[in-house]
Structure 1
Amino acid sequence: MSGHVIKEQMSQGYVVHIDETLGHLWVEHCGEITWDILQAIKNDIWGFEARAVEVYPAQYAVVNNRQMRHLWRLGQHDFCPDLRGITDKGDNLEARFARAWGGT
């Protein structure tokens, strides 16, 4: 992934790895991280107004070789069950991936 800068930042007592190009963060842990802690990390890294998702893939696509949690930041146009219709068409997961992999 050319051009990607991975930052590390402490949050809630964990080292958080952040790829702003993709809008992706991940946290290695010992199996004890809770939803509340992950929400606080999301708030620390991206702010209280940011929305993010964890992905639970089809079983055949699961990669589970470490105790790690991943969050993907959503743009205002990305679908989210609590979507309120406030949007920015240039900031969504699909557009970030296209830019990150050499698209627009």
Structure 2
Amino acid sequence: MHGTRQMAVNIGNLDKSRPWAQLSCLFGECLLPPSTFNMFVKQSKIRKEMGLQALAIVILDTDIMNTIKQQLTSAYQEVGIEHAFFTSIDEAIQWLEQQHIELDSQFITQFYNDHPL
């Protein structure tokens, strides 16, 4: 719950006059039950309306990667958010840099250096 609130604060601080992107890191077996999935789709739609243009998803330490990808792809396709899956932060950053969005890759790299995966 704290993470959801913090994410809302972070998104609220964005300059929504320009498109923005998100980089998410998922660990372990992170599947959404149907009720949570529906809320996730609604929140994703709101983020898209607020300017979310692309989403890079790094998935680590899981035995069900394909299942996670299928579930998230279903949600993001329903909303119409450009997304891609990766197994490293560096790959995700490279993809985001190609999405024509202003990106501070040095800050992202420093963040993940300070908060190891």
TM-score between both structures, scaled by the size of structure 1: 0.35
Q: Which is richer in strand? A: 1
TM-score between both structures, scaled by the size of structure 2: 0.32
Q: Which is richer in helix? A: 2
